Amino acid sequence: MSSSVESHQAKMIGELRVFIKKVLSDPTIAVKSVDIARKYKGQADADDLIAREISANTTIRIPEAWSDADKMFLEILHEVLDDEDALY
């Protein structure tokens, strides 16, 4: 594996560690994030709206220029909503 790939992976892991610590220290983050994602589901600019509202209403900060970890978080939110829909 090249050192640039390893460096990129290390950065992403670091971001995810910080995120997981925030979620574990404030369990309302997960609930709020899913509620926000549900609110914008299906809209053309849903990810932008979700990112802005999560940043404004939780301790999670998603900057305008998303990192791979930010993108992964938004993708996971969509997967959670898809799983929710599959249950009903």
pLDDT at 10: 92
Residue with tokens 């926000």: 36
DSSP letter assigned to residue 62: -
pLDDT score, position 1: 62
Q: What is the pLDDT of residue 36?
A: 98
Residue pair 5/11 in contact (Cβ under 8 Å)? The answer is no
Number of independent structural domains in the chain: 1
Q: What token pair was written down for 58?
A: 């939780």
Q: What is the pLDDT of residue 2?
A: 76
User: What CA–CA distance (Å, rounded) separates 87 from 73?
Assistant: 21
Angle (CA) 56-60-64 rounded to 5° is 70
Taking the alpha carbons of 48, 50, 51, 56 in that order, is the dihedral positive or negative?
A: positive
Tens place of pLDDT for every residue, the chain, 88 residues?
A: 678 889 989 998 998 899 889 989 998 999 999 999 999 999 999 999 999 999 999 999 999 999 988 999 999 999 999 998 887 6
Look up the domain containing 78 and give its range: 3-87
